[in-house]
Amino acid sequence: MTTKSKRPTPLKKKQISGAEIIYCALEQEGVEYIFGHPGAVLLGLLDLFLQRSKMKHILTRHEQCAAHMAEGYARASGGVGVCLVTSGPGATNLITGITDAYMDSIPIVCLTGQVGTSMIGNDAFQEADIVGMTHTVTKHNYLVKRTEDLAKTLKEAFHIARTGRPGPVLVDLPKDVMLGEASFDYSDEVDIRGYKPRTKGHMRQIQRVAEAIKESKQPVLYVGGGVIHSEAHKELLKLAETANIPVTWTLLGAGAFPSRHELSLGMLGMHGTAYANKAVDECDLLLAVGSRFDDRVTGKLSEFAQKAKIVHIDIDPTAIGKNVSVDIPVVGDARQVLLEVNKLVKKQKRSLWQKRIDRLKDDFPLSFDAPDGSPIKPQEAIVALSEEVGDKAIVTTEVGQHQMWAAQFYQVSFPRQFISSGGLGTMGFGFPAAIGAALARPDKLAIDIAGDGSFQMVLQELATAVQYQIPVKVFILNNYGLGMVRQWQDLFMDRRFREVGMEVDPDYVKLADAYGAKGIHVSDRADLRPAIREMVETPGPVILDVVVDQDELVFPMVPAGGASKNMILQDQRKKKPLKGKLSALPDN
């Protein structure tokens, strides 16, 4: 009689807490920094950051700034930024930052504490339906109901955030799920039904693009943030130089193509260069790569690029044809598509088109007047900063006039050098984003070009910068007001200024000192460049407060609803000031 041999009893996988599963998942994803603010539901997870040293938790002073720091980290590094906040108001305070990341396609993973699963829906203390609230402003979101689902959910969250068209993903973590136990199984593979981003473009469509380039006489490349996300800048440069195509970019596309290149047209749109907008108006082929035809770029849609055949290359199929009718659509990753296009495109000269572009640049240069005895002009402050610092810095901006002057006059040379809030236009974005960028790129200076209005929304984060000795620099163009709104009141409301003056401004030197940082004040142009050098050479956080001309306006400018080819130029304003027309006011 024979007996069957017993199979060895399988070893039971070690059971660990949900908090430890979260920590291990973040560790597997290579997370360096987590930005956040604590709460009682997070105590178990926060304790792990104390016990271990692979990841560093950065304590922010406001949860919105945690999201912006995660954005700044992601935008500067090309990786995924992570923020962690408690339930209720901690989670709701993230919403502006999440929406900013969603509008600009920035990969961040937002972890929010939540009340226990048995309490959800009972109006428990600090309960908020953050999943419901963020449904329309996240790429995807999760409410984890079982500890066993944590690892798989976090793996999917990071995968979704970084692939396809990037974006924010939120994971809501009930208290009992973090306290429960399960085994940690973190698979290398992710298979999400219905989520299969297409990276390679259709070859026939790519051939049509190459044919259109060959046939065109006056092409323009119009590129957005998608070129930077996909690391397609080298392929873009090759295409532009091979086919001799001038390049213009969106605010988020700054850095995709070198500003100083002879084929550079600068930024286009509402406050873009006049020669970029006029070139787009005259072109016979517009090649849009990784951009979404935002209203601030196109102006009046019926008059945008009327003479052009339009190519649109984008990884998001829903973006193609959404705002502008497209002749040749190509769905795919910008880098992958441009690699294939470059294989088919031959060398072309286009000497007549280049002469026309040169003439447009001569006729409509970016310029400003800074006569002796006048206040410091904001444009000259940006030029001085660009010349003194150049490629040593990553620059972030707040939102407003200073943002547009920075986009116009700061010379950008490489991807991820210029970081700004585009689609949402979030005041207070730049300073926390600069903190995130400084941690992502310690080899570079991180400088926030700020307006006094925007900076005052987030200045409490000076404490964060000082506490962790993050050497971020704040370069304030101080016009003692909300400059962009004031500009519209100047131009269209017959200079009836209402609720834009900020005469009660802090003394930024004293403010910096109060937080343990360095403060510098400049109001004389002779002191401007020495002050910039002092800012750069001073270790740790620094505020440089530059008092600029309050009456200086951003030009060129396309009035809201107007055609981009019909820009208001500075000399036109001097000849004939505009009177108030409510129909010309912006939507926001």
Marked catalytic residue, from 32, 55, 126, 467: 126
Can you tell me the distance from the alpha carbon of 581 to that of 572, in angstroms, rounded to the nearest whole number?
17
Marked catalytic residue, from 63, 71, 282, 398: 63
Per-residue pLDDT at 568: 86
Catalytic (active site) residue 579: no
Q: Do domains 203-363 and 378-555 have the same CATH topology?
A: yes
Catalytic (active site) residue 175: yes
Nearest CA-CA partner of 218 in 155, 273, 272, 265: 265
Marked catalytic residue, from 64, 114, 139, 175: 175
Residue 320 · residue 331 · CB < 8 Å: yes
Can you tell me the distance from the alpha carbon of 484 to that of 550, in angstroms, rounded to the nearest whole number?
11
Catalytic (active site) residue 63: yes
Q: Tell me the H-state helices in 195-265.
A: 203-215, 225-229, 233-243
CATH of domain 15-183: 3.40.50.970
Per-residue pLDDT at 501: 85
Catalytic (active site) residue 493: no
Can you tell me the distance from the alpha carbon of 563 to that of 406, in angstroms, rounded to the nearest whole number?
23
Marked catalytic residue, from 125, 343, 347, 574: 125
Q: Give the model confidence (pLDDT) of 234-276 as tens digits.
A: 999 999 999 999 999 999 999 999 999 999 999 999 999 999 9
Q: Domain spans of the chain?
A: 15-183, 203-363, 378-555
Q: What are phi and psi of 482, to 5 degrees?
A: -90, 90
Widest CA span of the chain, in angstroms? Answer: 111
Residue 298 · residue 304 · CB < 8 Å: yes
Mean pLDDT by 10 residues, the chain (588 residues): 44 82 96 96 91 91 98 98 97 98 98 95 92 98 97 97 97 97 91 92 98 98 97 98 98 97 96 95 97 92 93 96 95 98 96 96 91 93 96 97 96 98 96 98 98 96 98 97 87 84 92 98 97 97 97 89 84 44 43
Q: State the architecture of 203-363 in CATH terms.
A: 3-Layer(aba) Sandwich (3.40)
Per-residue pLDDT at 566: 84
In the Cβ-directed half-sphere of 512, how many Cα atoms lie within 13 Å? 21
Record: fold of 378-555: Rossmann fold (3.40.50)
A 10 A CB-CB count for 410 gives 23
Catalytic (active site) residue 484: yes
